[in-house]
Amino acid sequence: MKNGELHTLIDLLERSCLKFPENAYLWEKREGGYRSVTYRQTRREVGDVAAGLLAGGLQKGDRVALLSEGCNDWVFAELGILYAGGVNVPLSIKLTDKELIFRVRHSGARFLIVSDYYVATLRRIEAELPEIEKIYVIRYSSAEEGKYNSFERLKDEGKRWVTEYPGMLEKQAVTVSGADLANISYTSGTTAEPKGIMLTHENYVSNVLQSDSLIRIPEYFRILLFLPWDHSFAHTVGIYSFMYNGASLAAVDFGKSPMEYLRNIPLNMKEIKPHVLLSVPALAKNFRRSIETGIRQRGWLIRKLYGLGLKWGYYYHGQGNFRGKGGRMLLWPVVKLMDILVFSKIRKIFGGNLQFFVGGGALLDTELQRYYCTLGIPMLQGYGLSEASPVISSNCPQRYRFGSSGQVVKPLELKICDETGTEVKKGEKGEIVIRGKNVMKGYWKNEKSTAGTIRDGWLYTGDRGYLGEDGSLFVSGRFKSLLIAGDGEKYSPEGIEEAIAELSPYIDYCVLYNNQSPYTAGLIVPNKTALTEYVKQREEEPGTVEACKLMLTKLNEELMKFRKGGMYEGMFPERWLPAVVGILPEPLTAQNGTVNSTSKVVRHKVYEVFREELDFLYTPEGKDIRNPRNTKNMKSMITWMQNSVGKRTF
C-alpha cells in the first residue's frame, strides 16, 4: 500500500486492520453459539497460513485449489495464498467428480485445501490428480498420511517458519502487485464448457471501490453469507466489500451435511440478525414460497390481511421510483397498519434487522421485487458477470426502479452495441459492452475465447440490454440462450420462463426451446406440493394415472393464462410461448448438472440430459400435454419428490 492507495487484496486487508483492528470481521458458530474473529486476529491467522505455504514450497504464481463450504478458514486460506504470492482456484462444493478433476488439472494447481466434509470426495478422485503435491484438510481429525496434512499443522509450520525467517513473509507480500493474478475462477458452464476466468488483485480492488460508489456498507452491518463463497458475487461483495468498510460476515452453520446446512439458514438468521443479504432469484423465490406456506397455515384472517396488504402495498410502491408519490400517499396509513399487523412479523423471520436484499443476476422479476418492497425489505437488483469481477450495475436503497438493473458503477464505461460492434442510441437494444479496471485479464489457457470476448480493451458480455433515459440499465437475457424461429426472428426466453415459474404455484421451473423449430417447446418441472393438494381437493389419490392426467390438465390451464383471453394476455408475444409441453422425469439438480451452485439453470445441459423429451415434443403424439410419456414422467416426478427430503431452502 503506497501513499494510502489500494492496489492488492493484501492492501485491502492491511488497511482494514489499521482502521478497524478490533471490529468483528468473521462470525462462525462453535460450541453452540456464534463467535467472532476481529480484523487483527484475521491478519494473524492469514499470516500463519501464508508462512506455512511458503515453508511448504509455494512459489509466486503457483495455484492452490480451495474446496470448502463457507467458514473462517475459507477466508484465512484465500488470503494466506495471496499473501504468499500464490493464486487461489476457488471450487464449488456442488461440482461433480469429473468437474473437480477438470478444474484442478486445468488450473495446474500444486496444492489443495479442502474441508473435512469433502475429503471422501477427494480420496475417490485422488488417483486422477497426480500433480497435487500436498493436501491440507480443514478440521482434520484423522491421522496425517501421505499427501494429507491438517490445516492447523500448516498454520503451526507457518509460525515456526516466521520465527526462523523473520521479515521474509512481508518481503514476499510486497512483491505482489495489482497486475498479479489473485484468482482463477471457473465459469459455471450455463451456456458452454467452463472457462477459467483470470482475475487480478486490481480487478477485485477496483470492483470493491466501484460497488462502494452505489451502496456503502455501514461499519455496523452484518451479513449472513449463504451464497457459495466461491460465487463471484458473494466473493467480491460479501467478503471484500464488507472488509473494506469494516463490517462483518457470518458463515451458515454447515452442520453434518448439505441438508442440515439448508435447515440452519433460518435459525442462523435469527441468531446473526443480518442487516443485508445477498441473494439470487431462485433463493428469493424459495423464501417467498416458505413465507406463503406459513401464511396459509395461520387462518383466514391472517390470509385476508396478507392479501390486502400486498394489494395496497403494490399500488403504493408503484415501480419503486414513484413509491408513495401523488395519490399513492393517501394509502400511507393503510400501508403502515398492514406493516404493523402482518409484514413486521414476517421480517422477524429474517432476524428483525434486515434492511434490504442485493440480488445478482440478469433477469429481473418485477413482481418479486414489488413483493419484497411491500414486505419492507426491498430487493435491490443488480447486474454483473464473473468476467467483470462481477458488479456492473445495481439499484441502491436511496434509488431503485423495478425492472431495471440500476445505475452503472463508477468509474466504468458501458455502451450498447449492435451485431457489428457499433454503439446504438440510448433506448435501443443490443449487446452490453464494458471497459474498466474490473475487467478480467482473460481466460486461463484459452487465447481464442479471450480474443473473442475482449476486443480493444472492451468486454463483450454476451448479454442483451438497453440504457434508459435516466441511465438505468435494463438487461433482457443472454445472446447464447435466444430462441430462434424458422424465419430467423430471435427472442430471449428468460423473462417468459421466470414469469411462468413465479406466477404459477404449480410450476417450479420452465425451460423453453426453439432452434429454428416449427414452434416453441417448454420443459416443465412441476411443483409436487401444490399439485398434490390440488388433486386431493378433487378426491383423487396422488400417484394414480387419473391423478397425473388431472395434474397435466391443471398445468395446461396455468400456461393458457399467458395466451389470448387469459389472465396474463399480452405479457409476451404468442409465438414464443410454449405450444407443447414436456414434463421432466426428474428435477433439475446440481447432481445431474442442470443447475449450478446458485440454482441457475444450465440451459445447454438441460437440452442435453432431456434430449429425448425435447425430440418427442416435435412428434404428433407430443402435442397433447396428457400424452402417455408426460403421464409417466409426472408419476415418476411425484414419486421422486415424495422420496426426497425436498428442495426448499427456507
DSSP per residue, 218-287: PTT-EEEE-S-TTSHHIIIIIIIIHHHTT-EEEE---TTSHHHHHHHHHHHHHHH--SEEEE-HHHHHHH
Average pLDDT of span 316-328? 67
- What is the pLDDT at residue 648? 36
Q: Strands across the sheet with 490-491, in order? A: 490-491, 483-485, 515-517
Q: What local confidence, expressed as pLDDT, does residue 569 receive?
A: 86
Q: Residue 310 above 70 pLDDT?
A: yes
Closest by CA to 232, choosing from 183, 282, 285, 287, is 183
Question: How many beta carbons lie within 10 A of that of residue 302, not counting itself?
Answer: 16
CA–CA separation, 95 vs 530, rounded Å?
Answer: 30
Would you state the pLDDT for residue 649?
Answer: 33
- Please calculate the CA angle 99-100-106 and round it to the nearest 5 degrees: 90
Q: Residue 475 in contact with residue 432, Cβ under 8 Å?
A: yes
Give the C-alpha separation, 298 to 276, whole Å. 27
Task: Please give the pLDDT value at position 292.
Answer: 87
Across 128-246, where does the E strand assignment appear? 134-138, 148-150, 181-186, 196-200, 222-225
Higher local confidence (pLDDT), 76 or 597: 76
pTM of the predicted model as reported, rounded to 2 decimal places: 0.81
**Once rounded to an integer, what is the mean pLDDT over residues 569-598?**
85
Q: Are 531 and 639 in contact (CB under 8 A)?
A: no
Longest dimension (CA), the chain: 80
- Give residue-wise pLDDT tens across range 358-409: 986 545 567 888 899 999 999 898 999 899 999 999 999 888 888 889 999 9
User: Which of helix, strand or coil describes residue 606?
Assistant: helix
Q: What pLDDT is recorded for position 582?
A: 92
Which DSSP helix (H) or strand (E) runs through 129? none
Cβ atoms within 10 Å of 221's Cβ, excluding its own: 18
Calpha distance 44→46 (Å, rounded): 5
What does the pLDDT read at residue 487? 65
Q: How confident is the model at residue 647 (pLDDT cuts 50, 70, 90)?
A: very low
User: Over the stretch 475-485, which tens digit does the pLDDT of each residue have?
Assistant: 887 777 778 77
Predicted confidence (pLDDT) at residue 322 exceeds the cutoff of 60: no
Residue 594 in this model has a pLDDT that exceeds 90:
no
Whether omega for the bond prior to residue 194 falls within 30 degrees of 0, making it cis, is no
Q: Which residue in the block uniquely carries the three cell numbers 454483473?
A: 384
**Other CB atoms within 10 Å distance of the CB of residue 22:** 8
Mean pLDDT of the region 481-497: 77
Closest CA to 397 of 355, 369, 348, 359: 355
Q: What's residue 296's pLDDT?
A: 85
User: Are the CB atoms for 287 and 372 separated by under 8 Å?
Assistant: no
Mean pLDDT of the chain: 89
Amino acid at 170: E
Task: Name the pLDDT band for 600 (thresholds 50, 70, 90).
Answer: confident
Q: Are strands 454-455 and 458-467 parallel, antiparallel or unpaired?
A: antiparallel
**Contact present, 508 and 501 (Cβ < 8 Å):** yes
Buried residues in 393-429 as b, exposed as e (16+ CB within 10 A): bbbbeeebbbbbbbbbbeebebbbeeeeeeeeeeeee
- Determine the average pLDDT of the residues in 176-193: 83
Please state which of the ranges 268-282, 411-425, 582-596 shows the lowest mean pLDDT.
Answer: 582-596
Mean pLDDT across 562-578: 89
Has residue 645 got a pLDDT over 70? no
| Residue 544 reports pLDDT greater than 60 | yes
Q: Tell me the pLDDT band of 571, cut-offs 50, 70 and 90.
A: confident
For the ranges 164-173, 253-262, 572-581, which has the lowest average pLDDT? 253-262
Q: And the C-alpha cell for 239? A: 467478503
CA distance 69 to 428: 42
**Mean pLDDT, to the nearest integer, of 575-586?**
91
Output the CA–CA distances (angstroms, integers) from residue 383 to 4, 131, 260, in the order listed. Answer: 30, 37, 31
**CA–CA gap between residue 411 and residue 388 (Å, rounded):** 13
What values do phi and psi take at 390, rounded to 5?
A: -120, -5
**CA 89 – CA 96 distance, rounded (Å):** 16
Q: Which three cell numbers stand for residue 171?
A: 518481503
- For residue 11, give the DSSP letter: H
With H, G, I as helix, E, B as strand and everything else as coil, classify residue 294: helix
Of 116, 162, 163, the residue nearest 141 (C-alpha): 116
pLDDT at 189: 58
Q: Give yes or no for a contact between 261 and 646, defined as CB atoms under 8 angstroms apart.
A: no
Q: Where are the beta strands (DSSP E) in 263-400?
A: 276-279, 356-359, 379-384, 391-394
pLDDT at 332: 83
Most confident of the following: 249-263, 277-291, 426-440: 426-440
